[in-house]
């Protein structure tokens, strides 16, 4: 396994990280350049403070479970959605094993969670992913908007967690699961700039844009009519 491990944690890791960071930066630039900066420019310049407040408010409430009307209208979906994304983001970033690698390779590490907490988050995330998939299959209004691409994206997102969990439990074929875990994680990194997975960063852009527009056009968020 040693040569393969060195390759996937060395050159392949650097390549996937480079594609990820460059790709995300390019996506951000294209998003910003794609905005119509000329539309209502007088109104926006005159009410920039309302726009900033609206943008921050929009992002804040959409990041809170049940913080918006949409979240409260679908409590089951909201719970599974936030559990899925919490596991998807928290586990790989704060996993102790990942931070040991960060310290060894780049000389720094982040705050870490225990292996037991990571296992709980991983299992919860996989349960939530199963719920979200079944929801797409069961609900006609969601099923009609779903195609093979959506299932592929979900598979790319959950594969690192399934393989990583199996490797962490020391199941038969540990070396294989570890290599598959690393490769699937790198596939996800490469896929992010080119797929719907890019919403992990573009979400903040779109919510800020909508919140700014809504805040300005509602006269600085005055009145009861402004509700997320």
Q: Is residue 221 part of a domain?
A: no
Q: What's the pLDDT score for residue 172?
A: 85
Nearest partner of 43 among 226, 203, 225, 218, judged by Cα: 218
> Which residues fall within 8 angstroms of residue 62, CB to CB, at 6 or more apart?
68, 71, 203, 207, 228
Q: Is residue 227 part of a domain?
A: no
Q: Is residue 42 part of a domain?
A: no
Q: Is residue 192 part of a domain?
A: yes
Tally of structural domains, the chain: 1
Angle at 167 between CA 161 and CA 171, to 5 degrees: 125
Q: Is residue 138 part of a domain?
A: yes
> Which residues fall within 8 angstroms of residue 227, CB to CB, at 6 or more apart?
69
CA 154: distance to chain centroid?
12
Q: What's the pLDDT score for residue 1?
A: 60
* Phi, psi of 101, rounded to the nearest 5 degrees: -65, -40
pLDDT tens for the chain, 228 residues: list them: 678 888 998 899 999 999 999 999 999 998 888 776 555 554 555 556 666 777 788 788 888 888 888 888 889 999 999 999 999 999 999 998 888 888 887 788 889 999 999 999 999 999 999 999 999 999 999 999 999 999 999 999 999 999 999 999 888 888 999 999 999 999 999 999 999 999 888 888 888 877 777 766 665 444 444 444
Q: Is residue 210 part of a domain?
A: yes
Instruction: Please state the pTM of the whole predicted model.
Output: 0.82
**Angle of helix 199-217 relative to helix 48-62, nearest 10 degrees?**
130
Q: Is residue 128 part of a domain?
A: yes
Q: Read off the tokens for 17.
A: 């990280």
Q: What's the pLDDT score for residue 220?
A: 47
> Which residues fall within 8 angstroms of residue 158, CB to CB, at 6 or more apart?
125, 126, 129
List the CATH number of the domain containing 63: 1.20.950
Structural domain range at position 81: 2-33+48-215
């Amino acid at each position: 396994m040693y040569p393969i491990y060195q390759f996937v944690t060395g050159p392949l890791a650097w390549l996937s990280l480079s594609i990820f960071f460059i790709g995300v930066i390019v996506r951000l630039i294209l998003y910003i350049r794609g905005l119509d900066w000329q539309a209502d420019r007088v109104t926006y310049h005159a009410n920039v403070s309302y726009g900033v407040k609206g943008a921050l408010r929009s992002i804040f409430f959409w990041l809170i479970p049940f913080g918006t009307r949409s979240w409260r209208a679908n409590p089951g979906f909201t719970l599974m959605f936030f559990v899925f994304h919490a596991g998807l983001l928290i586990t790989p970033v704060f996993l102790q094993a990942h931070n040991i690698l960060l310290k060894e390779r780049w000389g720094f590490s982040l705050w870490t969670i225990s292996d037991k907490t990571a296992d709980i988050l991983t299992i919860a995330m996989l349960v939530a992913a199963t719920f979200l998939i079944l929801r797409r299959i069961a609900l006609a209004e969601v099923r009609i908007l779903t195609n093979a691409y959506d299932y592929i994206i979900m598979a790319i997102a959950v594969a690192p967690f399934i393989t990583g969990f199996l490797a962490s439990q020391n199941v038969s074929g540990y070396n294989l699961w570890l290599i598959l875990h690393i490769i699937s994680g790198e596939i996800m990194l490469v896929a992010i700039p080119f797929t719907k997975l890019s919403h992990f960063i573009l979400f903040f852009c779109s919510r800020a844009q909508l919140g700014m527009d809504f805040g300005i056009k509602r006269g600085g968020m005055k009145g009861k009519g402004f509700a997320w």
